[in-house]
Structure 1
Amino acid sequence: MNPIGRLRSGRSLGAGLGAAVLACAVLPAVLPPYWIYLAISAAVSAVVMQSFGVIVGRAGVMSLCQMSFAAIGAWVVLKLNVMGAPGGFFAWLLLGGLAAVPVGVAIGLPALRIRGVNLAVVTFGFAVSADIVWNANPFPGAADLTMLDRPAPFDTDGGYFVLCVIVFTVLAVALRAIGRTRLGLSWYELRHSERSAAAHGVSVARSKLAAFAISAFVAGIGGGLLAGQLSMVVPGNFAMGQSLALFAVAVMIGPHHPEGAVLGGVFGAVMATIMDKLSLPQDFGGVLFGAGALLALRSGLSQTDMTRMRKRERDARGLLDATGGARPGDAPGGPGGPGPVTVPAPRPSGDPRVPALKVSGLTVRFGEVVALDAVDLTVPEGAVAGLIGPNGAGKSTFIAAATGFVAGYEGSVELAGVPLDRLGPSARAKRGLRRTFQTTAIAPELSLYEYLTIGSGRRLPRAEADELLEFFGCPPGDVPVSVVDAGSRRLLDVAAAIAAKPEVALLDEPAAGQSAAESLALGRRLTEVPARFGVSILLVEHDMELVQATCAQVTVLDFGHVIASGPTAAVLEDPAVRAAYLGTADVPAS
């Protein structure tokens, strides 16, 4: 982040902490007792909303059982109170949150196989089951009316409100810090494309389970705070309907931002009072939340997302105007045309070095359809190789199989002499086999710097990130992806793949949608990548000019068969290749 970005971030954090201090100092002194009680309810609800912010707002998982996690936290706090366990309320509160973690992980396991509405049904099923358990087994202390005493000096309503605000603030700061790590950023990518996340070396399973675990912990803390507010709870405090209502609020408002969590907590606490004052049925509030959630789902953005994005886009446009924006047609290192492209000479046939990528006998079947039939392909170390063929020839299937996105193929894939066939996509990416996609699915909430952090698998030094962005002609790193055009997003995707310094990067039509000048500029950059970044490249393209200008050797597919392979100039002159592209004859597979 540049100095301006760090200043804005520091101001945002300072403003949030200032608002928390002001609320603690003013509200207990000016509000009447009933409204202080509502303020406590709002603060507790805001804590629970933060758990929705992790699992729903960041990871994009439809979880309808967060109040069940809160019930676990409350149960543990009340049980320890009845037992007279050492440590006091603060230790019990922490233990209540930790007790919800393994349950959250267990509920998250189905998310590794199912998603969307099906996963929502699973989590709602857990909420229903939890309701049955709580109704059959009263919470500790309910039978003999053992009350939970609030800890000093927070034993008054005003003091307890201060405690709840402190807990909310600590959690908000902690979640903010997590959100800036690769794990936190990966949740945004998971929400938009699990395939892209896996291609960047993100373990989808680990990332999802971490989101469930952290959200369950936060919800458990919220449940413990609710137990402290009420001194004794009943199953109705954690009914499954509560999870549904809060889920709708989360989708509508966006509690992954602190202001969204606060607004969600306030709505949840005061909506019943507002409905009563307006003489409206209590269910009417749920109808309003449901309608707002539907609108948010339709737009794909919550209210706080939209507000923040508008501000970021205004700032980004000013930054683009100040820096001249992206220059996709410029040559690396300065403005102007792409300049001459020097194609690396093909390596001698007797070169003893191990190929960077060697694919042997790759066969992929989809039912009775043979998409790839015994395909052999080698990407030499330190070279740019090409893979071409008509539409439907099997090029994208080759990339998907080589990078682990197609299971059950025949043949072998070796990276620097090491077999990868037993590894999944994220493991292959970590070993050094990266890919891009024909259609980019980059989270618009991310900045270019943040996307490079995900792609590289590490916190890039700012100088290195700036070098990559400038080399590929991308906008400045503080610009959000939401204001970047489709062509620049493709370049950003390539930059993210190269940022990881893999052995081989498989680029699936990176020049699609770009002008001739932009395509040639990209070709110049790609020819410099092996020497400059130590990354070999397999380029899949339809742009023959780009292939001729960039690739030292090329392999041609047609109907899943290799019909030619070798130095680029010789292959493109092959009559079988010309026939396959022009459609003038049936071409037998070689």
Structure 2
Amino acid sequence: MSAINVRSTAIGLGLAVAACVAVPALLSSYWIYLAITAVVSGVIMQSYGVIVGRAGVMSLCQWSFAAIGAWVVMRLNLSDAPGGFLLWLLLGGLAAVPVGVAIGLPALRIRGVNLAVITFGFAVSADLVLNVNQFPGTSELKTVVRPSMFATNGRYFILAVIVFTVLAIGLALLNRTRLGMSWLELRHSERAAAAHGISVARSKLAAFAISAFIAGIGGGLLAGQLGLVVSSNFSMGQSLAMFAMAILIGPHNIEGAIMGGVMGAIMATIMDKLKLPQDLGGMLFGVLAIFALRSGISQTDMVRARKRERAARGLLDKVKDATGPADPAPAVTQAVTPAVTPVAATGEPCLAVRDLTVRFGRVVALDSVDLTVPAGSVVGLIGPNGAGKSTFIATVTGFVSGYEGAVELDGRSIDKLTPSVRARRGLRRTFQTTVIAPELTQYEYLTIGAGRRLAKAEADELLDFFGCPPGEVPVSIVDVGTRRLLDVAAAIAARPKVALLDEPAAGQSAAESLLLGRRLAQVPERFGVSILLVEHDMELVRAACSQVTVLDFGHVIASGPTEAVLEDPAVMAAYLGTAEVPGTETGAETGAEPVAEPTA
């Protein structure tokens, strides 16, 4: 953990200990009861923090998972099962996991409002079942037996705080893992997550399973607090109100979970004191949640982001003072990274695409395209807008299925593999539009891209090589051009066999673009990664690529050494929009591979 995290954890533990001492000693029984309710609600809010706050899934059934946990605790209590309340609490959480996974299965195909409807349907169904079937022990009036050392309300508050704190620490540690950070990327772009080798299915199901487990624990705690529970304790209305509160506050942050728990506990009391309908509180949170959805950020995220950005700007100012004002003049830029003449690689094909054909209905996007990326090389793929370049990358990396032809990586077919598996096999890509979670620092994003925890020296080398700011700087304050460079750095950090870069120089100045080309030319030797570069900037292509393939209307119209291809009249005609395209003789004269005249 960083020093800041250690300090924050120490402060949090200190506050938890202080609450455990002060609340039972200073408050009346009524306020102790409300404090227990706040902590139990905070536990359930942490389940919203995982599924809604981190993974960005609209789940409206977390209280139904809590009902499962409560049902199991009361069933075991009625049966006088061995192990006692703490074991029953754990078993209640585990019982909710398979149900959470089952509810999460539709999330693999649908998302957004449609998924919210499905989860709400489960909440309604659970509500109906609970109304017809009483919880175990209610007919016999057998209350849940608390552990002897937590029998009183004052001591039960301490137990609830311990459970809340253990879960908070566990989630904080989980959030620092690749799985935890992958949820943030899923929230912003599932395609980008898959391109980084993250299994979208496993990550989503893990989020549902963990959130269901936490909610089940919360339900068991509620059963221990009340002794007996009824269906109204887990109504679908509560799920909706808590969901709205989660959107507004952001319970994936510890302070958000605490605030949500407190508001959930005292809202009913406030409404009662003001002689207002209880449903008005839920409506208020719903209206405020709409504004949070429109802004795309919760209140605690906003506060944290501002604090993080202030610290990062201070760091950038220190770096700027240490290095002096930047001079964007091309002469200086060229001196930083000397020109490198791209040398054609003679190694075995690292990526081989043969006879690739892609159809969208009657439209032929790619027609029998052949392309090879030799090991240790930078190969360009160019062409006018609409030529099929991005479709080519999407197909090769598995995002377009149902194609004809063959794609081989390192001599092995990958045609039947999903995008995430292809990425893990060593085929990474970037996108024309970067979608990086702004909450992440650059170090964290490189970790996601690499699929492993990078040493600080290795991460700093990548960031410095591509001209990115220091790694502690959050993505939220870097410009679009820098985000594209960070995307490239993340793809290279994984040390794939081939990185497919889709217009990485967009948003860069001419000097910056030329500098990037020189950097890319060094990547195979320095990092052991071959590159397929899609670009419109011909100077960048000349600086980086030893070979170039040109597409026009889905056809290959030239392929060969860079200079020869770029001087080919057929290529010039394609870029200038000339109606007539020269035939095969031109390709033979320039040294490019002869090809047939393309058809629209």
TM-score (norm 1): 0.96
Are 1:106 and 2:115 counterparts?
A: no
CA–CA separation in structure 2 for the residues paired with 1:543 and 1:510: 10
Give the counterpart letter for 1:189 in structure 2: E
Give the match for residue 593 of structure 2. Answer: none
CA–CA separation in structure 1 for the residues paired with 2:200 and 2:486: 22
State the SS of the aligned residue for 1:357. strand
Give the match for residue 589 of structure 1. Answer: 598
Q: 1:328 to 1:369 in 2, by over 3 A?
A: farther
**Stretches of 4+ moved more than 3 A in 1?**
325-331, 334-340
Give the counterpart letter for 1:404 in structure 2: G
Are 1:576 and 2:576 counterparts?
A: no
Question: Which residue of 519, 523, 527 maps to 2:517?
Answer: 523
Give the match for residue 423 of structure 1. Answer: 417
Give the match for residue 342 of structure 1. Answer: 340
Give the match for residue 502 of structure 1. Answer: 496
Question: Which residue of 108, 111, 115 maps to 1:115?
Answer: 111
CA–CA separation in structure 2 for the residues paired with 1:338 and 1:506: 25
Q: 1:479 to 1:144 in 2, by over 3 A?
A: same
Give the match for residue 457 of structure 1. Answer: 451
8 Å CA contact 2:85–2:147 kept in 1: the answer is yes
Deviations 1:317-358 (A, max 9, x none): 001111129999889xx97745442222224xxx4x420100
Question: Which residue of 9, 26, 35 maps to 2:22?
Answer: 26
Question: Which residue of 217, 221, 235 maps to 1:221?
Answer: 217
CA–CA separation in structure 1 for the residues paired with 2:133 and 2:273: 35
Size of the alignment, in residue pairs?
580
8 Å CA contact 1:390–1:580 kept in 2: the answer is yes
Offset at 1:288?
1.3
8 Å CA contact 1:190–1:204 kept in 2: the answer is yes
Are 1:210 and 2:219 counterparts?
A: no
8 Å CA contact 1:509–1:541 kept in 2: the answer is yes
8 Å CA contact 1:72–1:99 kept in 2: the answer is yes
CA–CA separation in structure 2 for the residues paired with 1:133 and 1:438: 49
Give the match for residue 364 of structure 2. Answer: 370
Give the match for residue 382 of structure 2. Answer: 388
CA–CA separation in structure 1 for the residues paired with 2:59 and 2:327: 45
Question: Which residue of 295, 298, 305 maps to 1:299?
Answer: 295
Question: Which residue of 183, 196, 204 maps to 2:179?
Answer: 183
Deviations 1:39-61 (A, max 9, x none): 10000000000000000000000
Q: RMSD of aligned C-alpha atoms?
A: 1.5
Are 1:128 and 2:127 counterparts?
A: no
CA–CA separation in structure 1 for the residues paired with 2:348 and 2:84: 63
8 Å CA contact 1:257–1:304 kept in 2: the answer is yes
Deviations 1:158-188 (A, max 9, x none): 1011110110000000000000000000000
Give the counterpart letter for 1:343 in structure 2: T
CA–CA separation in structure 1 for the residues paired with 2:307 and 2:507: 29
Are 1:287 and 2:296 counterparts?
A: no
8 Å CA contact 2:342–2:543 kept in 1: the answer is no
Are 1:542 and 2:536 counterparts?
A: yes
CA–CA separation in structure 2 for the residues paired with 1:582 and 1:204: 42
Give the match for residue 55 of structure 1. Answer: 51
Are 1:267 and 2:271 counterparts?
A: no
Deviations 1:50-99 (A, max 9, x none): 00000000000000000000000000000001111110000000000000
Give the match for residue 591 of structure 2. Answer: none
Offset at 1:513?
0.7
Question: Which residue of 80, 86, 90 maps to 1:84?
Answer: 80
Give the match for residue 443 of structure 1. Answer: 437
Aligned-pair identity in percent equals 73
State the SS of the aligned residue for 1:324. helix
CA–CA separation in structure 2 for the residues paired with 1:471 and 1:513: 18
CA–CA separation in structure 2 for the residues paired with 1:535 and 1:151: 59
8 Å CA contact 1:341–1:550 kept in 2: the answer is no
CA–CA separation in structure 2 for the residues paired with 1:339 and 1:302: 42
CA–CA separation in structure 2 for the residues paired with 1:338 and 1:175: 43
Q: 1:374 to 1:438 in 2, by over 3 A?
A: same
Are 1:72 and 2:72 counterparts?
A: no
Are 1:398 and 2:396 counterparts?
A: no
Q: Which has the higher contact order (CA 8 A, sep 6+)?
A: 1
Q: 1:429 to 1:330 in 2, by over 3 A?
A: farther
Give the counterpart letter for 2:192 in structure 1: S
Alignment of 1:222-237 (within 5 A): 222-237=218-233
Offset at 1:11?
1.1
State the SS of the aligned residue for 2:352. strand
CA–CA separation in structure 2 for the residues paired with 1:71 and 1:99: 11
Deviations 1:246-276 (A, max 9, x none): 0000000000011100000000010011111
CA–CA separation in structure 2 for the residues paired with 1:357 and 1:287: 56
CA–CA separation in structure 1 for the residues paired with 2:308 and 2:246: 22
CA–CA separation in structure 1 for the residues paired with 2:362 and 2:579: 25
State the SS of the aligned residue for 1:557. strand
Q: 1:82 to 1:396 in 2, by over 3 A?
A: same
Give the match for residue 323 of structure 1. Answer: 319
> Greater CA deviation, 283-292 or 249-258?
283-292
TM-score (norm 2): 0.95
Deviations 1:85-129 (A, max 9, x none): 110000000000000000000000000000000000010111111
State the SS of the aligned residue for 2:381. strand
CA–CA separation in structure 1 for the residues paired with 2:239 and 2:481: 41
8 Å CA contact 2:340–2:522 kept in 1: the answer is no
8 Å CA contact 2:98–2:209 kept in 1: the answer is yes
Give the match for residue 481 of structure 2. Answer: 487
Question: Which residue of 557, 560, 577 maps to 1:563?
Answer: 557
Give 5+ residue unaligned stretches, structure 2: 582-596
Give the counterpart letter for 2:292 in structure 1: A
Give the counterpart letter for 1:81 in structure 2: N
Give the match for residue 235 of structure 2. Answer: 239
CA–CA separation in structure 2 for the residues paired with 1:438 and 1:14: 43
State the SS of the aligned residue for 1:430. helix
CA–CA separation in structure 2 for the residues paired with 1:198 and 1:225: 37
Give the match for residue 41 of structure 2. Answer: 45
8 Å CA contact 1:337–1:517 kept in 2: the answer is no
Deviations 1:543-578 (A, max 9, x none): 001001110000000000000000000001111101
Give the counterpart letter for 1:481 in structure 2: V
CA–CA separation in structure 2 for the residues paired with 1:430 and 1:323: 35
Are 1:157 and 2:153 counterparts?
A: yes
CA–CA separation in structure 1 for the residues paired with 2:344 and 2:543: 13
8 Å CA contact 2:58–2:112 kept in 1: the answer is yes
8 Å CA contact 1:74–1:223 kept in 2: the answer is yes
Give the counterpart letter for 2:472 in structure 1: D
Give the match for residue 426 of structure 2. Answer: 432
